[in-house]
C-alpha cells in the first residue's frame, strides 16, 4: 500500500532533481491528451475511503480509489455518484476521473464530475500537501481550485484526496427505444429534455434513439406511457457499455473524435459513423478526418472538438486557445507547479 509520505518523498526528489513525473492511476485513460512523459509516480495503491457521512450525502476518498469500489460502497447505503463516471473494466480511479473530467450518460441532468466535487487535497510542485474546498457547496472564496482540477490532466499537481457529494440511487429505471434518424432524434431529445420527464439518459446510435427514465416506479411508468417506442426489459448493459465506451461503436473505432456542442445543433456529415449522447450535446465521430474541417463544424455548432483516440499523440489534440486563455493556464501552471514537474506537455505542448 502506497503511503502519503512515499508520494511526498518522490515528488520532492523529482523537484530537487528537476525530473518530470508522469502520474499513473489505473492507466485507463492513457489514450487521452498528448503522449505522457516523465518517470511514473503510481497512485493506484493510495486508495480507500477517508470519511463517509451517508446522512450528509458526502464522501471523501483517496485519489487511487476506483470508481467501481466507490459506487459499490455507496450502493450499500442506497446512494450513488450520480455523474456516473466510466469504470473502464474497474480500472478507472476517482483521481483520474476528475483529472480527465469524465462523466457518464446522466451528465446533462445530474451534472458533471466537476459539479460534484466539494474539495480536494493535492501535492503541488513545491512539495507541499494542500487542501482546497471542504464538505459543503458554499465554501469557496476566489478561485475554486477543486473544480479547476477537472480536465487539467494532473498538470497542476498530484491529487491525493477527493471529496464528493452523492445522491440517493433512483428506485426504478426504464429504457424506451425508437427507430429514428439522427436529426429527428436530436429534435426529439431536446423537446423531451424541456419537459418534466425524469430523463437520465438520451442517446442515438445506429438508427435508434434510447431514452432512459429513472426515479420512483410510478413516475417512471407514467412518463414511459407518454413516449413512443419499445420498452426494453434489460437495458442496464447498454448504458454501462455506453458509459465505459465499450459498445460496438467504440470498440470498432481506431480513430475517434469527441464533439461538445449545442444539444440542438443540426447533425453534420451524416454519411459518417456517429454516436450522439447527452441529448445531443456530446457527439462521437469515428474514422480519419481533417481536423481543421471538424473544428469548423464544431465552431458552427457552438462548441469544440477533440481527438479522443488515434492520430499523432505528439500533436495538439485539444482545441486551440486564445492568447488570454493560454496566458491564464500558464499563470495557473506557474503558481501550482513552477518547476514543471507534473505531466509536462500532457494537456498542451507548451504547458
Residue 342 in domain: no
User: Are both 214 and 181 inside the same structural domain?
Assistant: yes
The Cα 242–Cα 272 span in angstroms is 19
Q: Mark whether 78 and 137 lie in a shared domain.
A: yes
Would you state the pLDDT for residue 136?
55
3-state secondary structure of 143: coil
Residues 149, 117 share a domain = yes
Residue 343 lies in a domain: no
Is residue 222 domain-shared with residue 300, that is, in the same domain?
yes
The answer to whether residue 38 sits within a structural domain is yes
Closest by CA position to 167, among listed 58, 67, 68: 58
Pair (20, 162) in one structural domain:
yes
The verdict on residue 27 lying in a domain is yes
The CATH number of whichever domain residue 186 belongs to comes to 3.30.70
| Residue 276 covered by a domain | yes
Between CA 351 and CA 331 the distance in angstroms is: 10
Say if residue 107 is in the same domain as residue 11: yes
Domain identity same for 49 and 191: no
Residues facing residue 252 across a β-bridge: none
Q: Is residue 320 part of a domain?
A: no
Question: Which residues face 51 on adjacent strands?
Answer: 60
Domains of the chain: total:
2
CATH of the domain at 36: 3.30.465.10
- 290 and 147 assigned to the same domain: no
* Same structural domain, 188 and 208: yes
Q: Please indicate, yes or no, whether residues 139 and 196 belong to a single structural domain of this protein.
A: no
- For 218, the domain range is 172-253+255-309
pTM for the model: 0.94
Give pLDDT tens digits along the chain (351 positions).
Answer: 899 999 999 999 999 999 999 999 999 999 999 998 999 999 999 999 999 999 999 999 999 999 999 999 999 999 999 999 999 999 999 999 999 999 999 999 999 999 999 999 999 999 999 999 876 544 444 458 999 999 999 999 999 999 999 999 999 999 999 999 999 999 999 999 999 999 999 999 999 999 999 999 999 999 999 999 999 988 999 999 999 999 999 999 999 999 999 999 999 899 999 999 999 999 999 999 999 999 999 999 999 999 999 988 888 888 888 899 999 999 999 999 999 999 999 999 999
What is the rounded distance in angstroms from the CA atom of residue 167 to the CA atom of residue 58? 9
300 lies in the same domain as 181: yes
- Is residue 316 assigned to a domain? no
Say whether 336 sits in a helix, a strand or coil: helix
Q: Is residue 321 part of a domain?
A: no
Based on the fold, state whether residues 69 and 207 are members of the same structural domain: no
Amino acid at each position: 500500500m502506497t503511503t502519503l509520505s512515499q508520494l511526498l518523498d518522490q515528488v520532492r526528489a523529482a523537484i530537487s532533481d528537476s525530473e518530470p513525473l508522469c502520474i499513473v492511476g489505473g492507466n485507463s485513460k492513457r489514450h487521452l491528451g498528448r503522449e505522457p512523459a516523465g518517470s511514473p509516480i503510481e497512485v493506484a495503491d493510495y486508495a480507500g475511503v477517508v470519511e463517509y457521512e451517508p446522512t450528509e450525502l458526502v464522501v471523501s476518498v483517496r485519489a487511487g480509489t476506483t470508481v467501481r469500489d466507490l459506487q459499490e460502497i455507496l450502493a450499500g447505503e442506497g446512494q450513488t455518484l450520480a455523474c456516473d463516471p466510466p469504470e473502464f473494466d474497474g480500472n478507472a480511479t476517482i483521481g483520474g476521473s476528475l483529472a480527465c473530467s469524465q462523466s457518464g450518460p446522466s451528465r446533462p441532468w445530474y451534472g458533471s464530475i466537476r459539479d460534484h466535487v466539494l474539495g480536494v487535497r493535492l501535492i503541488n510542485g513545491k512539495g507541499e500537501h494542500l487542501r482546497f474546498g471542504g464538505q459543503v457547496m458554499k465554501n469557496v472564496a476566489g478561485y475554486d481550485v477543486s473544480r479547476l482540477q477537472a480536465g487539467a490532466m494532473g498538470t497542476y499537481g498530484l491529487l491525493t484526496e477527493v471529496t464528493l457529494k452523492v445522491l440517493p440511487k433512483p428506485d426504478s429505471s426504464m429504457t424506451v427505444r425508437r427507430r429514428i434518424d439522427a436529426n429527428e432524434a436530436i429534435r426529439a431529445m431536446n423537446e423531451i429534455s424541456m419537459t418534466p420527464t425524469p430523463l437520465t439518459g438520451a442517446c442515438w446510435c445506429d438508427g435508434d434513439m434510447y431514452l432512459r427514465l429513472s426515479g420512483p416506479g410510478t413516475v417512471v411508468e407514467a412518463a414511459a406511457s407518454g413516449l413512443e417506442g419499445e420498452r426494453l426489459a434489460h437495458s442496464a448493459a447498454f448504458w454501462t457499455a455506453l458509459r465505459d465506451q465499450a459498445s460496438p461503436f467504440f470498440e470498432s473505432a481506431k480513430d475517434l473524435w469527441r464533439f461538445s456542442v449545442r444539444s440542438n445543433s443540426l447533425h453534420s456529415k451524416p454519411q459518417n459513423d456517429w454516436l450522439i449522447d447527452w441529448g445531443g450535446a456530446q457527439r462521437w465521430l469515428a474514422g480519419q478526418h481533417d481536423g481543421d474541417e471538424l473544428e469548423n463544424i464544431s465552431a458552427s455548432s457552438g462548441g469544440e472538438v477533440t481527438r479522443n483516440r488515434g492520430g499523432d499523440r505528439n500533436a495538439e489534440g485539444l482545441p486551440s486557445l486564445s492568447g488570454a486563455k493560454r496566458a491564464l493556464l500558464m499563470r495557473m501552471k506557474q503558481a501550482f507547479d513552477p518547476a514543471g514537474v507534473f505531466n509536462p506537455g500532457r494537456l498542451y505542448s507548451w504547458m
